[in-house]
Chains A and B, each alone.
Chain A
Amino acid sequence: MTWETVIGLETHVELATRTKIFCSCTTRFGGDPNTHCCPVCTGMPGTLPVLNKKVLEFAVKAGLALNCDITRYSKFDRKNYFYPDLPKAYQISQLYLPIARDGAVPIHTDAGDKTIRIHELHMEEDAGKLVHDPWIDQTRADYNRCGVPLIEIVTEPDFRTAGEVIAYLEKLKETLQYLGVSDCKMQEGSLRCDVNLSVRPMGTDGLGTRTEMKNLNSFKAIARAIDYEAKRQIELIQEGKRVVQETRRWDENKDATYAMRSKENAQDYRYFPEPDLPPIELSEEYLDGLRAAQPELGEAKRARYQAEYGLPEYDSQMITSDSVLARFFEDLVALGAPPKQGANWIMGEVLGALSTRAMEPKDMKLTAPTLARLIALVGEGKLNRNTAVKVFEAVFDTDGGVDAYVKEHGLEQVNDDGLVRDIAAKVLEANPQSVADYKGGKEKAFGFLVGQVMRELKGKANPQSVNAILKELLGQ
């Protein structure tokens, strides 16, 4: 029998606000334990939560970008559970009237195009961090993360393959980054994903018993966990056993999922309306304002880069994969760089330099005006491309002055054809064997002669004119 895998995702995204969702403590990552806390986020009695305006705005912006219906009258609810990561013994979340519902996210995979339906998007608070100390056999609770704003985005069970899941997550990450509502860093936990998975015989409509997988910290882990869990469920059924509905943890080292203890599994949250937070009513003017302020997203940018700048699809894809790179590219073009050259520098030198330094584009020091100047110098014939790459490497980490560097190191391209001709003549005279080889049909000898001329001119000559002049002299 052939089997079909059915997957739904619950993605938690940390919003890039300055302060927590219900109090004015900082959301900064890290910090000494319990130094980003106050009576509200540590659940002291008698405190009142107050919703952060920016959290509401970011959640609505995300909802709009994911083509959701925005709930005009929205409320918060209490999700009750006793676990020390939440000192109030409940999480403030939204169950009955989430801020956004019924969205749609188009994705592209090698297998074709598809739309993933969004069931809902709601606002909630993050929990604290628990670290067990084996010395004292006690668990330390650090509430710095407690109250950091999250949106949870729940899809319909529309995925059939790990490839579709990854395509969706990449699209989601890209969209949220363009909106500026989250940095979506999986390694810092600002994008976390739970995978609900079941299997069924191919061609049937009903849903099998599902398991929920947690602790998936990378796209790679998600893809592997999906493959593992689908196989595990199919094998169970084929052996005549049943799939048990449970929460399973992905163990990166063992490359396997395992069931969590039943106590952690007890899911009876007894939701009820949060009396401490009044409802939210959104006006049409408010929504219109946010709609008008929505930035251009990746999909639209890719289309525009191809239509307006004539970039190949591949280039558009590469550059728009990161909102910082896209802005950098647009700045280069605005500063007069020819689009294709700007794209080549970004895809080649910039991405290369970032990758050797294991850096993210957003942490890059190099600014668009610096690279634009470098590109302009090449365009004006003042630097050759190879020398420009050297200058690039020199200024990349500090965003140093291109002109000053070129001048200081005497790197300006030699455009004196007379000089090039003299040097070329000398080189030919000094290398009769190579000249003979070239004339005898050995193309390689020509490369050697070009190299010699370039060396004499310390690499500063324009390679095209060196080629032309050598050809001319050899042709005589």
Chain B
Amino acid sequence: MNIDTEMVDYIAELSRLELQTGEKQAMTAQLEQIIAYMNVLNKLDTTGVEPMSHVFPVKNVLREDEVVPSQDRAELLAGAPVPDEEAFLVPKAVD
């Protein structure tokens, strides 16, 4: 995979990030390094090796379907940058 300005712009858009020209250049370089390292890893022959998604041999961690009281709303909203008394406020996201 080739990291160019176009790719950085695309990733920034998907991540809702506004990057300045200098930042874009820095990002391009860093992402290139990451991809280069992945290419090193890709050289390893992994034929017949099951992809591993979890490091620990844990499975079937389940909980009972029993209601526990929810968090106090004021507490929950306290950490939000812009709440009102009942909701999180965000920039316009719907028509």
Query: Hey, which bits of chain A sit against chain B, CB under 8 A?
Result: 17-19, 24-26, 32-39, 42, 44, 50-56, 75, 80-85, 87, 130-132, 136-143, 266, 268, 270, 273-275, 277-281
Cβ–Cβ contact A42 & B76, under 8 A:
yes
Cβ–Cβ contact A24 & B92, under 8 A:
no
B3 at the A interface (CB under 8 A): no
Kindly identify which residue among B53, B58, B79, B94 contacts A131, using a CB–CB cutoff of 8 Å: B94
Cβ–Cβ contact B68 & A24, under 8 A:
yes
A96 to chain B, nearest CB (A): 9
Cα distance, A44 to B80, chains bound together (Å): 10
Question: Which chain B residue shows the least CB distance to A85?
Answer: B93
B49 at the A interface (CB under 8 A): no
A132-B94, A278-B61 given; A140·B70 CB < 8 A: no
Question: Which chain B residue shows the least CB distance to A278?
Answer: B58
Chain A contacts for B16, CB-based, 8 A = 82
Question: Which chain B residue shows the least CB distance to A53?
Answer: B62
Question: Which chain B residue shows the least CB distance to A75?
Answer: B53
Cα distance, A280 to B77, chains bound together (Å): 34
Top 10 closest A-B pairs, CB basis?
A273-B53, A24-B68, A54-B65, A140-B87, A53-B62, A141-B88, A84-B90, A278-B58, A138-B89, A139-B93
Cβ–Cβ contact A34 & B87, under 8 A:
yes
Chain A contacts for B90, CB-based, 8 A = 84, 130, 138-139, 141
Cα distance, A80 to B16, chains bound together (Å): 12
Cβ–Cβ contact A139 & B53, under 8 A:
no
B86 at the A interface (CB under 8 A): yes
Which of B13, B64, B88, B92 counts the most A-chain CB atoms under 10 A from its CB?
B88
Q: Interface majority SS on B: helix, strand, loop or mixed?
A: loop
Chain B contacts for A140, CB-based, 8 A = 84, 86-89
Question: Which chain B residue shows the least CB distance to A277?
Answer: B61
B43 at the A interface (CB under 8 A): no
Cα distance, A266 to B12, chains bound together (Å): 13
Chain B contacts for A85, CB-based, 8 A = 93
B21 at the A interface (CB under 8 A): no
B66 at the A interface (CB under 8 A): yes
Pull 9 A–B residue pairs with CB atoms less than 8 Å apart, ordered by A: A33-B87, A50-B61, A51-B63, A132-B94, A138-B82, A140-B84, A141-B88, A278-B54, A279-B53
In chain B, residues 64-78, which have Cβ atoms closer than 8 Å to a Cβ of chain A? Answer: 64-68, 70-71, 73, 76-77
Chain B contacts for A34, CB-based, 8 A = 73, 76-77, 86-88
Cα distance, A377 to B59, chains bound together (Å): 59
Known: A25-B70, A51-B61. 7 other contacts (CB 8 A): A18-B65, A35-B70, A39-B76, A53-B64, A140-B87, A266-B13, A270-B14
Question: Which chain B residue shows the least CB distance to A136?
Answer: B89
Q: 1/0 contact trace for B16-49 toward A, CB 8 Å?
A: 1000000000000000000000000000000000
B88 to chain A, nearest CB (A): 4
Cβ–Cβ contact B67 & A18, under 8 A:
yes
Cβ–Cβ contact B92 & A139, under 8 A:
yes
B10 to chain A, nearest CB (A): 8
Cα distance, A42 to B92, chains bound together (Å): 19
Chain A contacts for B77, CB-based, 8 A = 34
A184 to chain B, nearest CB (A): 19
Kindly identify which residue among B56, B63, B73, B82 contacts A52, using a CB–CB cutoff of 8 Å: B63
Chain B contacts for A138, CB-based, 8 A = 82, 89-92
Chain A contacts for B2, CB-based, 8 A = none
Cβ–Cβ contact B89 & A19, under 8 A:
no
Question: Which chain A residue shows the least CB distance to B63?
Answer: A50
Which of B68, B89, B94 counts the most A-chain CB atoms under 10 A from its CB?
B94
Chain B contacts for A50, CB-based, 8 A = 61-63
Cβ–Cβ contact B70 & A38, under 8 A:
yes
Chain A contacts for B66, CB-based, 8 A = 18-19, 24
Chain A contacts for B54, CB-based, 8 A = 273, 275, 278-279
Chain A contacts for B86, CB-based, 8 A = 32-34, 140, 142
Kindly identify which residue among A19, A37, A130, A280 contacts B76, using a CB–CB cutoff of 8 Å: A37
Cα distance, A321 to B58, chains bound together (Å): 43
Cβ–Cβ contact B53 & A37, under 8 A:
no
A137-B92, A138-B92 given; A25·B68 CB < 8 A: yes
A268 to chain B, nearest CB (A): 6
Cα distance, A439 to B16, chains bound together (Å): 92
Kindly identify which residue among B59, B71, B84, B91 contacts A278, using a CB–CB cutoff of 8 Å: B59
Chain B contacts for A278, CB-based, 8 A = 54, 56, 58-61
